[in-house]
Amino acid sequence: MSKRKLNQSVSLAHFGREAVGQFRDWKLQGTPPGKTLERLCIASRTYLPTSAECERGFSAVNNTDNQSRNRLREESLSSLLFVDLNGPPLDKFDPVPFVKSWIKAGHRLSSWKPGRQREEVEPRHLWSILT
């Protein structure tokens, strides 16, 4: 075991003993909780009591990384999962401003084929098909 890990485990053991002692004093003698016990209580409130969030994450991965999209790069998959888990619901998302800025920036349309001249398409015509 490395010296750093040994120091961390000794520090953690000391922290644990101190918190247990402060809890015992608080419970049995009615003394105010000590600083270590207060920090432990605050830390314990940050943990979720269920695994629902993890299950949502696994479900999102299974929905995103499927047979038809199994060649996604890690960066692309990570970005898709971030939007899926943290983005707005689809019924509240308005893609029009983003697609217009994409087309105005000179990016290719999905219908573009190598070797063909680029066709200039008004964003309005594209959106009339999609809306």
* Confidence tier at 33 by pLDDT (50, 70, 90): confident
* pLDDT on residue 127: 55
Distance (Å, whole) CA 36 – CA 15: 7
Side-chain half-sphere CA neighbours of 21 within 13 A: 9
* pLDDT on residue 106: 83
* pLDDT on residue 36: 87
* 22, 40, 42, 50 from 46: Cα distances, Å: 21, 10, 7, 12
| Percentage of the chain lying above the pLDDT 70 cut | 76
**Residues 61-76: tens digit of each pLDDT:** 888 888 877 788 888 8
Are 37 and 23 contacting, i.e. CB atoms less than 8 angstroms apart?
yes
Grouping H, G, I as helix, E, B as strand and the rest as coil, residue 53 is: helix
Task: List the Cα angle 97/98/100 in 5-degree steps.
Answer: 65
**Residues 74-127: tens digit of each pLDDT:** 888 888 899 888 888 888 888 889 888 988 888 877 777 776 555 565 556 555
Quote the mean pLDDT of the chain. 78
Structure tokens at 34: 């000590």
- Global pTM reads 0.41
